[in-house]
Structure 1
Amino acid sequence: MNAEIRKLERDNLTEAYGVASQRLLPWDVLNAPFEGAWCALPPGGTSTAHSHHEYELFIAMTGRAVIDVDGEKRDFAAGDVAHLLPGSVHYIHNDADTDFEWYAVWWDSEMTDRFAARHRANTEAAHTDPGQS
């Protein structure tokens, strides 16, 4: 099979930025130019306001909440996607009566460069391996 499936382990979520989450990496089979995490916020919960140097996407999976980016609050619900620029101060508040879950993906130029280098090395190794046809 040319696909790997990583299961969400809800009983083993860890805390980051005030949110229960499961990080995408490390995952030995994945070479990607980004990192990510499944995130869950209980009713009434608020993530820690923060900013960072990476670009970020939030993909709302279940429930609804309010996202605050640089002081601008917007409704954010399952099916919505938010794009956050580096340096933007952001947090999510779950004002609903059910869990809010989203997937966060982030990247920067260093991650992209590391991905490209690994990809080139893997491609070159595959073409020089005498066991490959």
Structure 2
Amino acid sequence: MASDITKGKSVIIGPDDGQSLWQPMPSRGYVNVNLTPDNMPYDTFSSGIQMMPPGCMVREHGHKQNHELVFVYEGNGQVDIDGEVTEFGPGTTILFARNCTHWIKNTGDTDLRMFWVFFPPGLEDWFNAIGRERTPGDPMPNPFDRPDNVQEVMDKMRFLPPRNSG
């Protein structure tokens, strides 16, 4: 019976493999995009890691067609989901369901590091639209703003606006 089972293709991405992008204010830090439909045989998700320095944050937003799963493996912070703020630390798993607004803040005194999975895929397109290429090991650049067309990108990706935007 076991011979009737078709095996899928496994993929290994090293810590400096994949694409790395510096992030604009207020996130700063960087994102490594590890798995996408472009570098693996699956089209149902994308994944990577994000590092945010102390005091930085992911702005409030939501996704009309995607779920976002985050696993925090270093650092401490706060997360807001639809107006409910919760403290978190290493080992915390957070699932942002579609149509829920959320933000994440690094409230600790060390870098916040998270592993993310986005399904269906597409978060990599956002990071490419707002980020700047990074070579692992390079020093963090001076803070920079998001591009002028960020609202157009958010609309195209079907992002929800922040709750207080009217």
TM over 0.5: yes
* SS state at 1:50 partner: strand
State the match for 2:76 in structure 1: 64
What fraction of aligned residue pairs are identical, expressed as a percent?
A: 24
Give the aligned CA root-mean-square deviation in angstroms.
2.6
- d(CA) in 1 for partners of 2:43 and 2:108? 34
Query: Following superposition of structure 1 onto structure 2, how do residues 112-123 of structure 1 map, counting pairs within 5 Å?
Result: none
Aligned to 1:37: 48
Q: Is 1:84 equivalent to 2:96 in the alignment?
A: yes
Structure number with higher helix proportion? 1
User: What secondary structure does 1:97 align onto?
Assistant: coil
Q: Any residues of structure 2 matched to 1:2-41 within 5 Å, and which?
A: 3-9=10-16, 12-15=20-23, 18=27, 20-23=30-33, 24-25=35-36, 27-41=38-52
Q: Deviation per CA, 1:44-95, whole angstroms, max 9, x where unpaired?
A: 1111211112111111111111111111111121111111111111111111
| Number of residue-to-residue matches in the alignment | 108
For normalisation by structure 2, the TM-score amounts to 0.56
Q: Which protein has the larger Cα radius of gyration, Structure 1 or Structure 2?
A: 1
Structure 1 residue 104, shift from structure 2 partner: 1.3
